[in-house]
């Protein structure tokens, strides 16, 4: 198994470089028709989370993400916008947060508006951490002053106070499905002219940061203690599919399991 890191913008380069390899991407697709991809329903997950905030009575909800050009950020913002528009509300402009310091400045400016948002939805777990840092610096109480929901669970999300309401990705399942698909391609010996895009469902984990007064899903185990980072996912796949790590050098040259440059959950 060859683990290849790449930026989505380099998709064309890798498509040419690995034109005869069996490739499955995780988390986001590569702009090449023959490459398989395993993704989640980012748009639907974001929409469900924002609808939940709207259900709490929030009418001004801000979206905070990383670079808007990222496939995941773009589709999750679309889901946020869908939920707002379907509720007859005006979506906020995309808010791009690149660091903790930058996020503090942005949040301070947003909350100084005449009609500031009463809730935030974050596009991934990194922006959730940026936002929590900003709230701490600015002494903003969640959910008493600002409600919060985010995309991606992470290890301490359920032990923070308040525990965070999140959209949970099936990280273990993503890796398992991707590996199965890759081995099917290897067994067939045929490089497809058109790849498959498999989209997996998501789960909403309702805790307290959204304004709920109890952890609706607090008693559930997080995906059977599934690995939560790209490195853990790859390590787990190596244990689950030992044949993959016993490939000869010649066979290794024919196989690639590709993941995005950023962490799988981003």
- Do 60 and 24 reside in the same domain of the chain? no
CATH number of the structural domain spanning residue 118: 3.40.50.2300
Query: What separation, in Å, do the N-terminal and C-terminal C-alpha atoms of the chain show?
Result: 23
Task: Enter the DSSP assignment of 152.
Answer: S
Q: How confident is the model at residue 122 (pLDDT cuts 50, 70, 90)?
A: very high
Residue 125 has pLDDT above 80, yes or no: yes
- Do 46 and 79 reside in the same domain of the chain? yes
Average pLDDT over residues 142-147: 96
Residue 108 has pLDDT above 60, yes or no: yes
Range of the domain at 48: 42-166
Q: Give percent of the chain above pLDDT 70.
A: 73
- Do 125 and 144 reside in the same domain of the chain? yes
Establish if 93 belongs to a structural domain.
yes
pTM score of the predicted model: 0.75
Establish if 228 belongs to a structural domain.
yes
Write the pLDDT tens digit of every residue in 228-266.
444 444 454 455 444 443 333 333 333 334 333 233 333
CATH number of the structural domain spanning residue 198: 3.40.50
Report the number of distinct structural domains present in the chain. Answer: 2
- Do 135 and 147 reside in the same domain of the chain? yes
Contact (Cβ atoms closer than 8 angstroms) between residue 26 and residue 260: yes
Contact (Cβ atoms closer than 8 angstroms) between residue 40 and residue 223: no
Give the pLDDT of residue 43.
Answer: 96
- Do 158 and 69 reside in the same domain of the chain? yes
Establish if 265 belongs to a structural domain.
no
Burial 12-23 (b: 16+ CB within 10 A, else e): eebbeebeebbb
* Average pLDDT in the chain: 80
Average pLDDT over residues 188-205: 89
Give the pLDDT of residue 16.
Answer: 64
Which of 166, 186, 215 is the endpoint of a domain? 166
Q: Please choose, from the candidates 247, 262, 221, 246, the residue with its C-alpha nearest in 3D space to the C-alpha of residue 21.
A: 247
- Do 75 and 176 reside in the same domain of the chain? no
- What is the side-by-side strand order in the sheet with 255-260? 3-6, 255-260, 22-26, 36-40, 197-200
Residue 82 has pLDDT above 80, yes or no: yes
């Amino acid at each position: 198994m060859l683990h290849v890191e790449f930026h989505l913008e380099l998709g064309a380069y890798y498509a040419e470089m690995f034109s005869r390899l069996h490739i499955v991407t995780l988390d986001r697709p590569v702009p090449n028709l023959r490459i398989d991809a395993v993704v989640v329903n980012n748009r639907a997950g974001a929409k469900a989370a924002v609808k939940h905030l709207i259900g709490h009575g929030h009418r001004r909800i801000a979206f905070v993400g990383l670079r808007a050009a990222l496939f995941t950020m773009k589709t999750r913002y679309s889901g946020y916008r869908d939920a707002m528009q379907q509720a007859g509300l005006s979506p906020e402009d995309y808010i791009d947060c690149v660091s903790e310091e930058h996020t503090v400045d942005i949040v301070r400016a947003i909350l100084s508006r005449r009609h500031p948002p009463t809730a935030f939805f974050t596009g991934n777990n990194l922006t959730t951490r940026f936002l929590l840092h900003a709230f701490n610096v600015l002494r903003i109480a969640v959910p008493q002053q600002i409600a919060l929901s985010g995309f991606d669970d992470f290890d301490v999300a359920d032990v923070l106070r308040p525990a965070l309401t999140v959209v949970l990705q099936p990280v273990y399942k993503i890796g398992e499905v991707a590996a199965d698909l890759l081995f099917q391609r290897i067994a067939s010996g045929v490089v497809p002219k058109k790849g498959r895009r498999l989209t997996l469902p998501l789960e909403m984990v309702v805790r307290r940061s959204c304004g709920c007064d109890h952890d609706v899903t607090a008693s559930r185990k997080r995906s059977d203690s599934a690995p939560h980072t790209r490195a853990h996912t790859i390590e787990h796949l190596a244990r689950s599919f030992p044949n993959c790590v016993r490939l000869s050098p010649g066979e290794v040259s024919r196989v690639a399991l590709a993941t995005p440059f950023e962490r799988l959950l981003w």
